[in-house]
Amino acid sequence: MRAEAVSDPVTHHGEGPVWNPATGRLHFVDMLAGDVLTLGADAGITRTRVGSVAAVVRPNRSGGLVLAVDRGFALLPEGADEPRRLPELWSDPGVRMNEGGCDPQGRFYAGSMAFDATPERGTLWRLDPDGGTHRVLTPVTISNGLVWSPDGHLVYYVDTPTGRVDVFDFDAARGEFLNRRPLVEIPEEHGAPDGMAIDAHGRLWVAMWGGSAVRCYSPEGELEAVVEVPVRQVTACAFGGPDLDQLYVTTSRDGLADPEPTAGALYLAETGVRGLPVHPFAGLDEGVLPG
């Protein structure tokens, strides 16, 4: 399979695509520019600046979006131009949020990392619907792909420098990750694992930073398919479209000494399989909404 560009190079560091079933639109981020991008029905792209970093975005069950920004979480109400930020989780300007996602119960998770990728300066954080925030995993280095199995009993996670996809048992009542073990070991020549999506059969589609591909693994960790992408820095992927049968892929030109002409474009691959609907954030109670 091969992915084809569906946009110009609209991002410097594209990341985190997600299909919003409430609007029938794809959102993704230009992470280090601090912008949320939305792909319209006419293939036009709109941008909303949310801060210095736009790390990850997910639909909010009550409307609008929930975000991870530079040093914490925020909400972007429907139709708003500016986010409503929750209190910062740390003060160190050398650490920022990165990838994340929502569990089946509607909690929102995002992991942090050092701007310079210093080992073990990151944490995987959780935002609950009551506004509470909790550390889920620490330390981590480059917290990246995060998805749940179709039955919600397992959670898959990428800390990129490990070169692995790990799997945990998921405690749905507490939002805790238990019994970590490796599922997939990625050979260096295939690139480094980055963002990740899951299909209706429980197969993992893993973006390969430096590997010009998205690789598909069975629930047992066996390689089953490869989607070729004609740029090196492939960052993340998500199933979208009305039938969730199109794989959208984000890419990056960040740090390239010889930028490729289409690096930073949004790509699309026809995989012949359907993805799982994204879990939305359950929303914050009125009493804890930021002003």
| Per-residue pLDDT, 287 | 60
Out of 194, 243, 245, 254, the active site residue is 194
pLDDT confidence of residue 185? 97
30 is catalytic: no
pLDDT at 283: 87
Q: Residue 231's pLDDT is what? A: 98
Residue 134 has phi, psi (to 5 degrees) of: -145, 145
pLDDT tens, N- to C-terminus, the chain (291 residues): 999 999 999 999 999 999 999 999 999 999 999 999 999 878 789 999 999 999 999 999 989 999 999 999 999 998 888 999 999 999 999 999 999 999 999 999 999 999 999 999 999 999 999 999 999 999 999 999 999 999 999 999 999 999 999 999 999 999 999 999 999 999 999 999 999 999 999 999 999 999 999 999 999 999 999 999 999 999 999 999 999 999 999 999 999 988 799 999 999 999 999 999 999 999 886 666 665
Contact 277, 16 (CB under 8 A): no
Distance CA 102, CA 67 (A): 11
Q: Residue 35's pLDDT is what?
A: 98
Q: Contacts from 108-113 at CB under 8 Å and sequence distance 24+?
A: 108/58, 108/66, 108/68, 108/73, 108/281, 109/136, 109/146, 110/55, 110/56, 110/68, 110/73, 110/143, 111/137, 111/140, 111/143, 111/144, 111/146, 111/159, 112/140, 112/143, 113/140, 113/141, 113/142, 113/143
What pLDDT, on the 0 to 100 scale, is given for residue 92? 96
Give every CB contact of residue 200 below 8 A, 6+ residues apart in sequence.
Answer: 150, 244, 273, 274, 275, 276
Rounded Cα gap, residues 208 and 50, in angstroms: 27
**pLDDT value for 199:** 98
Alpha-carbon distances, residue 229 vs 38, 41, 66, 262, 282 (angstroms): 21, 23, 29, 10, 34
